[in-house]
């Protein structure tokens, strides 16, 4: 699982846990291309649906959120090594070309751990209010301090057109914790995300990513009922096999060192 692969010029605006340096990312893609069996998520999911356990060393590459650098930096590197990947878009952020709230918070405050924990479980409007208040205390508007980090729909269309190995999945509209917020609000986040992608990109997304990997029986059922083929979230084991729940597939955060990647992906 990756998020941003921004260059050094934008690194100071991105929460460190969300960003990997481009040169590190390229080293990892070179390693995976040479030493692992990298497959599209759709291929893995269909194997699971048929009761097939993939061979050891099989890897899927995924990205969450919709950072603009996924188009400008990650996609060319993946194309160089002929690797497939899946990008889970938070479509409301793409629609508004709005940066991740955690990046805005990081940019506004050097010590934001307490507020960060609260905002993970907040609604989108509550996050905006909190960030606006923090920006006011800092004497500036958050939007004036940050470059645009999230892709817009034109850039998402460019990604689909230029890089056909990049599959598009859904990540809700507003990156809401679906374990904390269920009911019709969650249903609108899940279904609306699929509608947005189909309307703007002309493709029907098949794979879903639960924000923060958090899900409940209710929201898992919504994903299944909505016609999605799989979902990634908190699961029992990072090893995927024939008996894995394809609607709660766990992922590994991409490590910083190739040795760690070798151990985690073997």
Mean pLDDT of the chain: 93
> How far is CA 192 from its chain centroid?
17
pLDDT (0 to 100) of residue 265:
80
Predicted structure pTM score: 0.94
Contact 54, 45 (CB under 8 A): no
Asked whether residue 181 carries a pLDDT value surpassing 80, the answer given is yes
CA distances from 29 to 7, 24, 25, 56, 59 (A): 17, 9, 6, 18, 11
* pLDDT tens per residue across span 60-97: 999 999 999 999 999 999 999 999 999 999 999 999 99
pLDDT (0 to 100) of residue 245:
95
pLDDT (0 to 100) of residue 238:
76
Where are the chain's structural domains?
A: 8-99+146-264
pLDDT (0 to 100) of residue 262:
83
* pLDDT tens per residue across span 158-173: 999 999 999 999 999 9
For residue 265, give both structure tokens.
Answer: 């992906």
CB atoms within 10 A of CB 95: 16
* Between 265 and 120, the higher pLDDT residue: 120
Secondary structure class of 150 (helix, strand, coil): strand
Asked whether residue 150 carries a pLDDT value surpassing 70, the answer given is yes
pLDDT (0 to 100) of residue 125:
96
* pLDDT tens per residue across span 205-215: 999 999 999 99
pLDDT-derived band of residue 139, with 50, 70 and 90 as boundaries? Answer: low
CATH of domain 8-99+146-264: 3.20.20.370
Task: Give backbone dihedrals phi and psi of 2, rounded to 5 degrees, phi first.
Answer: -120, 165
* pLDDT tens per residue across span 17-57: 999 999 999 999 999 999 999 999 999 999 999 999 999 99
Asked whether residue 239 carries a pLDDT value surpassing 60, the answer given is yes
pLDDT (0 to 100) of residue 142:
46
* pLDDT tens per residue across span 105-134: 998 886 777 899 999 999 999 999 999 998
pLDDT-derived band of residue 145, with 50, 70 and 90 as boundaries? Answer: low
């Amino acid at each position: 699982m990756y998020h941003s692969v921004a260059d050094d010029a934008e690194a100071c605006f991105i929460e460190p846990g969300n960003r990997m340096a481009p040169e590190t990312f390229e080293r990892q893609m070179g390693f995976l291309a040479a030493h692992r069996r990298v497959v599209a998520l759709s291929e893995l999911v269909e194997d699971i649906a048929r009761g097939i356990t993939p061979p050891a060393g099989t890897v899927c590459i995924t990205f969450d959120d919709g950072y603009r650098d996924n188009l400008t930096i990650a996609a060319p590197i993946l194309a160089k090594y002929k690797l497939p990947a899946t990008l889970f878009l938070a479509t409301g952020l793409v629609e508004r070309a709005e940066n991740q709230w955690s990046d805005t918070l990081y940019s506004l405050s050097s010590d934001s751990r307490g507020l960060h924990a609260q905002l993970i479980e907040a609604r989108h409007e509550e996050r905006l209010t909190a960030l606006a208040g923090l920006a006011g205390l800092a004497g500036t508007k958050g939007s004036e301090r940050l470059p645009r980090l999230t892709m817009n729909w034109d850039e998402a269309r460019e990604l689909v057109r230029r890089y056909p190995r990049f599959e598009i999945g859904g990540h809700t509209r507003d990156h809401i914790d679906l374990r904390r917020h269920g009911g019709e609000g969650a249903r609108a986040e899940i279904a609306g995300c699929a509608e947005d992608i189909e309307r703007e990109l002309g493709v029907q997304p098949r794979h879903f990513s639960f924000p923060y990997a958090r899900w409940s029986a209710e929201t898992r059922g919504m994903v299944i009922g909505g016609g999605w083929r799989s979902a990634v979230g908190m699961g029992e084991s990072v090893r995927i096999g024939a008996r894995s729940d394809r609607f709660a597939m766990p992922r590994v955060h991409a490590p910083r060192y190739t040795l760690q990647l070798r151990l985690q992906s073997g």
